[in-house]
Amino acid sequence: MTAEGATTSPPTHRAEYGRRAARGMLLLTSAAVFTKGSGFLANLVLGWLLSKDDFGVFAIAISLSSVATSIQDGGATRLIRHPDEFARLGRAVSRVSLAVNLLAATAVLVMAPIAASIYQRPSLVWLLLIIGASLPLGNRPLMLKARLIADLRFGTLSRIDTTSTIFRNILAVTLAWAGFGAMSLALPTPIGLLLDWLLLHRAVGSGIPGEPLNRALFAELFRSMRWIALGLVAIAIAANGPPTIIGLFQPTAVVGVFFFGMQIALTPLMVFNAGLAQVLMPTLSRFRDDTRRQGLAFQRMLSVVSLASAPIAIGIVLLAPQLVQLLWHGRWNDAVPVIQATAATIPFRLVGPAGQAVMESRGRWGLRASLLVADAVGTLVVAAVGARLGGAAVIAACLACFRLVMSMVYGIGSGRLVGVGVVHILRCLVPPVLISGSVALVASLSIGRACAALSVLAQAAILAASYGVLVSGLLILFHPGRLRDAASVLGPVRAKTPAPQAERPADAGDATGTPLAGTDARAGTPQPDRPGADPGSGSSP
């Protein structure tokens, strides 16, 4: 194929990228199941080893440092998601990223004694010192992960992130067992970053290509970075800001209950986010000039993740009382309403990262930043109102209602860019939620009451089995098309015209363009994955 032909890629070539996006998302999601599963097991053990105050003080530390950690690279790595962009801007972005990391670390270190005085928690000093010291350590791993994403090397990135996450979870449990308290939630971050650095160096080397940083190039980067950085700050505030506000009105133990409940409830969300945001944006960028195909990819992604997430989310709502009692024997029963209110909104929360990916691919950084700022401000206001009205359950209910509203705002804002209306978005999201919710309601009212005299384990088993069978049957009956679409994503790519060799990134997959197995592309997110960290990092709570 000629160079000109490569520029005007045929529909089959673009269809291959669309298929690769969906397959890559499910690939990352599958890998994230293992990493988030290990995180859930870690939280299960930590729920026994640590107190509500331990979780609460760590939540406040994460919340206070969220703005600094969110701009650890100034948002610059988001500008190098395409191989050509990385080859030209990589070195300059690395220099800017390191400078921003050092500034952010300094801000956290200065804030540490002030925060300890305000909240009357001396341990905040040490927690914030560890978090601040981690920022410069994360600069090189962040750049090397950005390189893997630009090359669509999802398999390599998956193996590294999976190894790192499991290592951090094991380390956190070990430290908690040794009596480190809240410090056991913070120390795995800097140690895990050193492991990331070693693994990434072995995978891609340490060299970063690109032009040297100069005044003209800095001005070019800054023009885009200002919007990206503003968006990252807004994401961090929306995701991690509530504990800071709640801590001003409620005891630290209430903050711990809210934080712990959000951790458990949002684990499925982060499983899908791991693939959705990181795969959709770079893939949409491949055919940014074709609005129609971007719109179809957007709808397809929402349809697939809704089909997968809705039964899980509503299942959590149904089984939360039994599971919490079974796992922690009443220790965290007051977190059940938080888990239920948060989990019920999971399918709709996915509109946020998907919509942001659309805006990024279209270069609408200003629109993205504006919506994120509105989201952040609204989240803090709603958290304050909830904290004044009641405890953790009331706060979670208020934030859940606000999240539903913001999901529609994201959907409308991003859908207009690619010709997708709010009705189409609701058609992608609502049917699986209605089916799952109806089954859960019937199961709770009939099966739940009939089994009330049984043990907690028996109740959970019967409810889970009944719910799973009924939901699966109804989805097969009423939405066979959605299931076929999801299955086709997992099937082999049969593009009649292969992609040009110049467009096929190394290690992106096999000869058909299939990504390598097992990934979790989190490069560019504000916080490395770790037990005890707010799972909302990188997305709204």
Q: How many CB atoms lie under 10 A from the CB of residue 510? A: 11
Q: Among the ranges 69-78, 87-96, 236-245, which has the highest mean pLDDT value?
A: 236-245
Quick one: angle between helices 52-70 and 83-119, nearest 10? 130
Task: Look at 39-43, 229-233, 255-259, 296-300 and tell me which has the smallest mean pLDDT.
Answer: 229-233
Both tokens of 55, joined, read 């979780």
Domain parsing of the chain, residue ranges: 49-209+216-240, 243-512
Q: Mean pLDDT across the chain, nearest whole number?
A: 78
Q: What's the length of the chain?
A: 541
CA nearest to 23, candidates 167, 155, 124, 211: 155
Q: How far apart are CA 350 and CA 404, in angstroms?
A: 11
Residue % of the chain over a pLDDT of 90: 30
Higher pLDDT, 332 or 158: 332
Residue 111 · residue 128 · CB < 8 Å: yes
pTM comes to 0.73
Task: Note the pLDDT of residue 505.
Answer: 35
Q: 337 pLDDT exceeds 90?
A: yes
CA angle at residue 181 from 178 to 183, to 5 degrees?
A: 100
Q: How many CB atoms lie under 10 A from the CB of residue 201? A: 14
Q: 446 pLDDT exceeds 50?
A: yes
Task: Look at 187-201, 441-455, 481-495 and tell me which has the smallest mean pLDDT.
Answer: 481-495
Task: Note the pLDDT of residue 32.
Answer: 65
Higher pLDDT, 509 or 171: 171
Q: 2 pLDDT exceeds 50?
A: no
State which H helix or E strand residue 266 sits in: none
Task: Note the pLDDT of residue 485.
Answer: 63
Q: 401 pLDDT exceeds 50?
A: yes
Q: 535 pLDDT exceeds 90?
A: no
- pLDDT one-digit tens code per residue, 477-492: 887 776 666 555 444 4
Both tokens of 299, joined, read 């709808």
Q: How far apart are CA 35 and CA 26, in angstroms?
A: 14
- pLDDT one-digit tens code per residue, 113-150: 999 998 888 999 999 999 998 988 888 888 888 777 77
Residue range 508-518: mean pLDDT, rounded:
31
Residue 131 · residue 61 · CB < 8 Å: yes
Q: 540 pLDDT exceeds 60?
A: no
Measured torsion, CA atoms of residues 228, 378, 425, 279, in degrees rounded to the nearest 10: 30
Q: 316 pLDDT exceeds 90?
A: yes
* Residue 474: alpha-carbon gap to chain centroid: 29
Task: Note the pLDDT of residue 378.
Answer: 95
Residue % of the chain over a pLDDT of 70: 75
Q: 307 pLDDT exceeds 90?
A: no
CA nearest to 405, candidates 431, 433, 371, 438: 371
Task: Note the pLDDT of residue 433.
Answer: 92
Task: Note the pLDDT of residue 519.
Answer: 32
The confidence band for 439, taking pLDDT boundaries of 50, 70 and 90, is very high
Residue range 297-312: mean pLDDT, rounded:
84
Q: 5 pLDDT exceeds 80?
A: no
Residue 521 · residue 149 · CB < 8 Å: yes
The confidence band for 216, taking pLDDT boundaries of 50, 70 and 90, is confident
Task: Look at 160-174, 337-351, 447-461 and tell me which has the smallest mean pLDDT.
Answer: 447-461
- pLDDT one-digit tens code per residue, 16-27: 555 555 555 555
Residue 245 · residue 383 · CB < 8 Å: yes
Task: Note the pLDDT of residue 321.
Answer: 92
